Amino acid sequence: MPAPVTLPRLSWGDPASSRRALLVHGLGSNGALMWRFGVAIANAGWQADAVDLRGHGVAPRTLDYRVAAYAADLSATLAAARGAWDLVVGHSLGGAASVVAAAEHPEWARRLILVDPAIRPTPRDLEIVRASQEESFADPSKEAVRSAHPNWHEHDIELKSLSAHQASRWAVEQTSSQNTPWDVTDAAASVTVPMHILGSDPDVYSIYWGERLAGLRAANPAIGYSFVAGAGHSPHRDRPEETVAEFLRIIGD
């Protein structure tokens, strides 16, 4: 089992709340970029904690960037949850790591929402991710982020720039190279707690849809699915109002 590191975190909401959520960002991002979910869930009466994953934000650097290592760090947050996390929200890489943590430790979380999760990226997906990360590291300025994403909220522009400055380029590159093949489908199929995939729009760009998604849902019919029309891989930044509305509908079911 990979040795875990202690992940730094940000929090939204009342620390005394009986409902606690963990927010897990994607590759090259940081915990602060999950702020839309943090604000929404705090306003709903929850406490939400967002972590920086290893090699990202201000989290410790290591040599191991397998999905299993990211999952070990997430599993180690159990003590902070005062029992199981009531909800874990994982985006992209964070979704893949959350799936592995939940499969290996059923007591870790009571429910998962996976935002366009990187469960089994195709070679094309991995090339798109590689090119996107190279672009982010080549020019991490706010001006570059704003040019690429003119409709994003100013917080997201600021924080995406910050995340590129903070993240270890080596860690991001190793996350791709150390996960070959990148496939946590078996773990996702074995998760026993309720799980919902909140996807992005395949007509824009989605990292997880089509035959891969259909196969997973056939193996685990309890997995729910919906998507945000008009949103790319990060729906909480591309279509925040629609994403939050769908998110609150899911947790209200």
Q: What is the pLDDT of residues 192-237, one digit of tens each?
A: 999 999 999 999 999 999 999 999 999 999 899 999 999 999 999 9
* Rounded Cα gap, residues 119 and 187, in angstroms: 9
Name the least confident of 3-17, 75-89, 235-249. 75-89
List the beta strands (DSSP E) in 172-223. Answer: 195-200
DSSP label at residue 96: H
Percent of the chain past pLDDT 90, that is, above it, reads 96
Find the mean pLDDT for residues 116-129. Answer: 96
pLDDT attached to residue 253: 73
Q: How many CB atoms lie within 10 A of CB 250?
A: 17
User: Given phi > 0 = left and psi -120 to 50 = alpha, else beta, which region is 53?
Assistant: beta
180: β partners: none
Residue 141 belongs to a domain with what CATH number?
3.40.50.1820
Would 131 be classed as within a structural domain? yes
Average pLDDT in the chain: 96
Would 3 be classed as within a structural domain? no
pTM of the entire predicted model: 0.97
pLDDT attached to residue 184: 98
> What is the per-residue pLDDT across 165-198, written as a single tens digit (0 to 9) for each?
999 999 999 999 999 999 999 999 999 999 999 9
Would 4 be classed as within a structural domain? no
Structural domain tally of the chain?
A: 1
Question: How far does Cα 144 stand from its chain's mean position?
Answer: 23
Would 1 be classed as within a structural domain? no
* Rounded Cα gap, residues 35 and 133, in angstroms: 21
Residue 78: band (very low, low, confident or very high) from pLDDT cuts 50, 70, 90: confident
pLDDT attached to residue 83: 80
Its domain, for residue 110, covers 9-252
Would 2 be classed as within a structural domain? no
